[in-house]
Structure 1
Amino acid sequence: MSNKHIYLISGLGADERVFQNLEFPEGYETHFLPWIKPLSHDEPIEEYAARMARRILHPNPVMLGLSFGGMMSIEIARQQPVEKVILLSSIKHKRELPPYYNKLAKRLLKNLPDKLVFGQRQFIVRLFMQTSTEQERQLLQDYLYSQNKDHFYMRWALNAVLSWQNEWVPPSLIHIHGSNDRPFPRRFVQPTHTIIKGGHFMVMNRAREINRILEREL
Structure 2
Amino acid sequence: MEKSICYILSGLGADERVFDQIDFGDFTPVFIPWEPVKPNQSLESYVKQLSLHVKVPSPILIGISFGGIVAQEMSFLFENCSVLIISSVKSRLELPAMMRVSGKIGFHKLMPIQLLLKGNWINYWLFGTTTKTEKNKLTGILEDSDPIFTKWAIHQITNWKRNKKTKSPILHIHGDNDRIFKISNASPDFIIKGGSHLMTVSKPKELSIVIQDGLNKLADKQAYSDFTNY
Give the TM-score, by structure 2 length: 0.84
**CA pair 215-155 structure 1, distance change in 2 beyond 3 A:** closer
CA distance in 2, matches of 1:93, 1:65: 14
Superposed CA deviations along residues 154-197 of structure 1, whole A, max 9, x for unmatched, are 11100000000112334421100001101100000000000112
* Residue aligning to 1:193: 190
Q: Distance in 1 between matches of 2:7 and 2:112?
A: 31
Letter in 2 for 1:204: V
C-alpha change, 1:48 and 1:144, in structure 2 (3 Å) is: same
Please name the residue that 1:24 is paired with.
24
Partner of 2:124: 126
The AA in structure 2 aligned to 1:216 is D
Aligned residue in 1 for 2:174: 177
Total equivalences in the alignment: 210
Aligned residue number for residue 107 of structure 1: 106
User: What SS does the aligned partner of 2:99 have?
Assistant: coil
Shift of residue 144, structure 1, vs aligned partner: 2.3
| CA distance in 2: counterparts of 1:104 and 1:54, whole angstroms | 31
Distance in structure 1 (CA, Å) of the matches to 2:150 and 2:210: 31
Equivalent residue number for residue 65 of structure 1: 63
Offset, 1:66:
0.7
Instruction: Look up the equivalent residue of 1:98 and give its one-letter code.
Output: P
| Aligned partners of 2:69 and 2:89 also within 8 Å | yes
Q: Distance in 1 between matches of 2:167 and 2:19?
A: 23
Residue 7 of structure 1 corresponds to 7
Unaligned runs of 5+ in 1: none
In structure 2, relative to structure 1, the CA distance for the partners of 1:21 and 1:43 (3 Å cut) is same
Report the residue type matching 2:34 in the other structure: W
2:62–2:84 Cα contact (<8 Å) kept: yes
Question: TM-score scaled to structure 1, two decimals?
Answer: 0.89
Q: Encode CA deviations 1:3-32: one digit per residue, 9 max, x unaligned.
A: 311011110111101101111222x22101
Residue equivalent to 2:32? 33
Q: Is the 8 A contact 1:63 1:82 kept in 2?
A: no
Letter in 2 for 1:30: P
Partners in 2 of 1:204 and 1:158 — Cα distance? 22
Compute the displacement of 1:126 (Å).
2.2
